[in-house]
């Protein structure tokens, strides 16, 4: 196994444990905003989508289309996810 | 000049980009932590959005990125669609909105994995296996979310679709996927010799599997499915992180994956069922041959005028909303009734079952929209021990979560599910359209209890009638 892969796996394992620690204390009132906020974070695939354009391609057609479609969908996910979460959270008020 | 050259040399640039990715990961972590409390949640969401923004900006500044004009076109059109959808959506349509956004996250990861498959031209297992996983998880998330969206928005029948040999077909598809996965990774050309053929086969099979995995799941089990698809969208992004060897994708994806899994687990526990049972049993498709209605006694209907007299004299009222409140859009009327009761000196509380509605926290969002303060919302375990002293429970469009069969009838499919014990309250009003059974198709003995009164009709109309009684 390549050392980079092991290093990435290390990051993964720690993040999973961190995620469980962070989320397990969220009260049920906030389950929906938590879910849609987390969903917006999963739009981080946008970074990978932008990076598909890192190579000046001679024959770019298929990867170019795939990459731009990825940017498009990931942006919907990110912008829509954060805005809708913000809209929901602004309604939660205390007495 | 020497100094500037060092800063802008490609290795320094790469290091800087990575440092900013670390900062971005830290912002996601802090943001998620702050989402855990109502006081800090709004700020937490903004911090997480800031993390996303700097990750995107620094990626765009990466010197190797080309095609800027097209990236901007894709980003601006995506941002417009996302923003319009997010600002226009009705709060009652939130479950299908979250479902479709999950799907977009999934397809984005699938597309990244596919593009990288052609771009990298690698034979390294450490990259090919993640490409396979990205495409499979992303594909299942995408079509699974579309089916969930269809069921939740009513564009598709919400009932479970079951057929003979369902598990075998899914199992076979899964093995086929694995076969093409090995073909992709080993690059041996058992059937297909070209990269795009193998990739196309994997994408098609994943899409099909996503559809087939979600169609057998009924509408009432959607909270579990949405939470699980949420987790998948994170895992797909995480796998994409391995493909492009990028830590921020792995950290962010893993956080989402973990949070989705925790929510899935909470939803399953709230129904006393295993995840396997939710996913594969086709719950709610068959009406179990239980005791028939005749044996259970008679239902006692009540009209709004009489219900008002009882409410007017009550000193404590607990309101139990369910999916029916969302369907009838009755949340604003409910809040008005709650306020009138409080003005009358009655204590009012809203009891929310974790699986009430179609997604985790569905009822909380609707009541928040109607300006019910969140500290008035309580959980079943807060009220069950003292429910005998509650004068009136008003059940609005909830059914299975208040079904005493879960406690009393060990033959019942929902036996053992933690419920709200409204049948033990002094009086219980059940607002219901008709005598049809709940989404799980199970008879509810609550309707036949001596202390239960049925207020038939549309939930919004019934509540509005009660409100006008109070106002007269």
Distance from the B27 Cα atom to the nearest Cα atom in chain A, whole angstroms: 11
Is a pLDDT exceeding 50 seen at residue A27?
yes
Instruction: Report how far Cα B297 is from the mean position of its chain's Cα atoms.
Output: 37
Q: Which residues pair with B402 in a beta bridge?
A: none
Nearest-angstrom CA–CA distance, B89 and B320: 25
Read out DSSP for B424-439? Answer: GSSEEEEEESSS---T
Phi-psi region of B160 (alpha: psi -120 to 50; beta: other; left: phi over 0): beta
How buried is B458 (Cβ within 10 angstroms: 0-12 exposed, 13-18 middle, 19+ buried)? middle
Neighboring chain A residues of B246 at a CB cutoff of 8 Å: 47-48, 51
CB B152 within 8 A of CB B95: yes
Chain B contact probe: residue of A80, A83, A85 with most B CBs at under 10 A: A80
Cross-chain residue pair A79–B86, CB shorter than 8 Å: yes
Q: Which residues does B180 contact at the CB level (< 8 Å), separation at least 6?
A: B198, B201, B202, B205
Q: What is the mean pLDDT of each run of 10 residues along chain B (472 residues)?
A: 55 83 97 93 97 96 83 96 96 93 97 92 88 97 97 88 89 95 82 85 97 90 93 97 95 96 92 87 59 63 92 95 93 96 95 92 94 94 95 93 90 89 95 71 84 93 94 86
- Span A33-88, pLDDT tens digits: 999 999 999 999 999 999 998 876 555 578 889 999 999 999 999 999 999 999 99
Q: Which residues pair with B392 in a beta bridge?
A: B317, B427
CB B235 within 8 A of CB B130: no
Nearest-angstrom CA–CA distance, B3 and B44: 38
Domain boundaries, chain A: 29-89
Residues of B belonging to the active site: 400
Neighboring chain A residues of B241 at a CB cutoff of 8 Å: 8, 48
Cross-chain residue pair B111–A67, CB shorter than 8 Å: yes
Q: Which residues does A17 contact at the CB level (< 8 Å), separation at least 6?
A: none
Neighboring chain A residues of B114 at a CB cutoff of 8 Å: 66
How many CA atoms lie less than 13 Å away from B244 in the CB half-sphere?
32
Cross-chain residue pair B364–A28, CB shorter than 8 Å: yes
Cross-chain residue pair B364–A5, CB shorter than 8 Å: no
pLDDT at B6: 54
CB B432 within 8 A of CB B446: no
Confidence label for A25 from pLDDT (cuts 50, 70 and 90)? confident
Q: Which helix (H) or strand (E) holds B377?
A: strand B377-378
Q: Residue B216 carries which DSSP code?
A: T
Neighboring chain B residues of A59 at a CB cutoff of 8 Å: none
pLDDT at B289: 47
Domains plus CATH for chain B? Answer: 89-280 (no CATH), 293-471 (3.40.50.1220)
Q: Which residue is closest to B372 within chain A, CA to CA?
A: A93
């Amino acid at each position: 196994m390549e050392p980079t892969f092991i290093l990435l796996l290390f990051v993964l394992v720690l993040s999973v444990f961190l995620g469980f620690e962070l989320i397990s204390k969220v009260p049920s009132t906030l389950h929906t905003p938590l879910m849609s906020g987390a969903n917006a974070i999963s739009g981080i695939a946008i970074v990978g989508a932008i990076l598909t354009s890192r190579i000046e391609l001679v024959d770019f057609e298929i990867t170019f289309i795939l990459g731009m479609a990825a940017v498009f969908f990931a942006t919907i996910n990110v912008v829509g996810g954060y805005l809708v979460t913000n809209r929901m959270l602004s309604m939660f008020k205390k007495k | 000049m020497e100094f500037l050259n060092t800063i802008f040399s490609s290795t320094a640039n790469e290091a800087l980009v990575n440092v900013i990715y670390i900062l971005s990961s830290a912002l996601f972590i802090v943001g998620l932590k702050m989402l855990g409390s109502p006081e800090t949640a709004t700020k937490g969401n903004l911090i997480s959005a800031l993390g996303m923004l700097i990750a995107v900006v620094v990626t765009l500044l990466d010197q190797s990125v080309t095609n800027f004009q097209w990236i901007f076109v894709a980003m601006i059109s995506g941002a417009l669609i996302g923003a319009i959808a997010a600002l226009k959506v009705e709060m009652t349509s939130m479950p299908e909105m979250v479902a479709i956004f999950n799907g977009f996250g999934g397809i984005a990861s699938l597309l990244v994995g596919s593009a990288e498959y052609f771009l990298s031209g690698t034979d390294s297992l450490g990259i090919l296996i993640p490409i396979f996983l990205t495409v499979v998880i992303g594909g299942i998330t995408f079509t699974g979310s579309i089916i969930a969206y269809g069921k939740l928005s009513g564009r598709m029948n919400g009932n479970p679709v079951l057929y003979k040999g369902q598990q075998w077909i899914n199992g076979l598809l899964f093995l086929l996927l694995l076969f093409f996965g090995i073909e992709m990774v080993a690059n041996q050309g058992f059937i297909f010799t070209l990269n795009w053929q193998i990739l196309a086969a994997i994408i098609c099979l994943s899409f099909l599997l996503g559809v087939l995995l979600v169609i057998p799941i009924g509408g009432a089990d959607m909270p579990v499915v949405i939470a699980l698809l949420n987790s998948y969208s994170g895992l797909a992004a995480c796998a994409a992180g391995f493909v492009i060897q990028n830590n921020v994708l792995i950290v962010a994806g893993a956080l989402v994956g973990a949070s989705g899994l925790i929510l899935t687990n909470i939803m399953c526990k709230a129904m006393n069922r295993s995840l396997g049972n939710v996913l594969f049993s086709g719950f709610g498709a068959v009406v179990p041959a239980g005791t028939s209605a005749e044996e259970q006694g008679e239902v006692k209907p009540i009209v709004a005028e009489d219900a008002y007299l009882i409410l007017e004299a009550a000193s404590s009222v607990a309101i139990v909303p369910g999916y029916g409140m969302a369907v009838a859009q009755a949340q604003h009327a409910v809040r008005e009734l709650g306020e009138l009761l409080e003005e009358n000196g009655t204590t009012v509380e809203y009891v929310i079952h974790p699986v009430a509605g179609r997604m985790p926290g569905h009822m909380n969002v609707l009541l928040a929209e109607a300006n019910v303060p969140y500290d008035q919302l309580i959980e079943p375990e807060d009220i069950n021990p003292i429910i005998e002293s509650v004068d009136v429970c008003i059940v609005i469009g909830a059914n299975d979560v208040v079904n005493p069969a879960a406690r009393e009838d060990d033959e019942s499919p929902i036996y053992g599910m933690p419920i709200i014990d409204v049948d033990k309250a002094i009086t219980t009003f059940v607002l219901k359209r008709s005598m049809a059974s709940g989404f799980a198709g199970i008879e509810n003995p609550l309707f036949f209890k001596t202390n239960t009164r049925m207020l038939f009709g549309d939930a919004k109309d019934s509540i509005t009638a009660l409100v006008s009684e109070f106002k007269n």
